Amino acid sequence: MTARADRTAMHWGGATDVGRVRTNNQDQFLARPDLDLWAVADGMGGHSGGEVASQIACDTLGQAFSDRTVDGLIEAVEQANTAVFRAGTDNPELTGMGTTVVALAAVEHEGDEVLAIANVGDSRCYRYADGELDQVTTDHSLVADLVRDGSLSPEEAAVHPQRNIVTRVLGVYDTVPVDVFAVDPHGGDRYVLCSDGLFNEVPEPAIAAVLRRRRDPAVAANELVQLAVEGGGRDNITVVVVDVVDDGGRAAAASAALADDDAPGPSAGGPPSPS
């Protein structure tokens, strides 16, 4: 699937799965290639609250994102917060529902094009570039705070029983602080938007290995979700892979460096799946 802005073309693919333990899928993803906008939301709340919250957040983002700038993306996330908050206060069954959100959009910035990445909560955006996987966003979670102040190692955080506790959430209060990151688009770079159901089950080297092997973003997204299910599937899992395939010549043909190995079946080149 392809979306084309003035200069940057993006290919994308997305997948979501309920996992092995939960009875419903409260994750949601948004793909609006016509707006160069993608998002993942991980809802929480009793009854149907979590599903409603992530759905309203994604719908509102798509409707509200008209000013295609960094500020326009922040504003759309703020409007999503308001929409979820109002739905929660209007309906006693849904009171207290909320959702994470991580959104990526190609936007205009000072006469150039940048990728704006906004987040609230612990859904993540990773960048895979030059064979390296890096987390772009900062988690708003209890364990991330504990790692930052040195009381927990990243290894301890990964298995901490309270690793699901978020410290910032969309839709629970009438306003929410939104983090935003702006990065230059480079041909060949890949972005992964995901809920915690991915990174709590699949170690980052295994995520990177899939991105290295699978050139088609839909194939990569599906395989990442499948790995998380096989790794335990204790939560809903959602993955959107967005590839920068052209940046107007600033990094021509870098995507050619990606291995094209989308053939089905086990790959000889990758590490074993986590079990």
Residues that bind Mn ion (CB under 5 A): 42, 195-197, 235
Integer Cα distance of 155 and 151 in angstroms: 12
163 versus 190: smaller Cβ distance to Mn ion: 163
9 versus 192: smaller Cβ distance to Mn ion: 192
Q: Smallest distance, Å, CB 168 to Mn ion? A: 15
Task: Tell me the chain's radius of gyration from C-alpha atoms.
Answer: 18
Q: Smallest distance, Å, CB 145 to Mn ion? A: 18
Nearest by Cα to 13 from 27, 31, 26, 40 = 31
3-state helix, strand, coil in the chain (%, to 5): 30, 30, 40
Q: Smallest distance, Å, CB 29 to Mn ion? A: 13
Would you say 16 and 241 are in contact if contact means Cβ atoms under 8 Å apart?
no
96 versus 270: smaller Cβ distance to Mn ion: 96
204 versus 262: smaller Cβ distance to Mn ion: 204
Q: Smallest distance, Å, CB 233 to Mn ion? A: 11
88 versus 233: smaller Cβ distance to Mn ion: 233
Q: Smallest distance, Å, CB 217 to Mn ion? A: 22
Of all helices (H) and strands (E), which one includes residue 219?
helix 217-230
Integer Cα distance of 79 and 176 in angstroms: 10
Query: Three-class SS of residue 83?
Result: helix
Query: Three-class SS of residue 17?
Result: strand
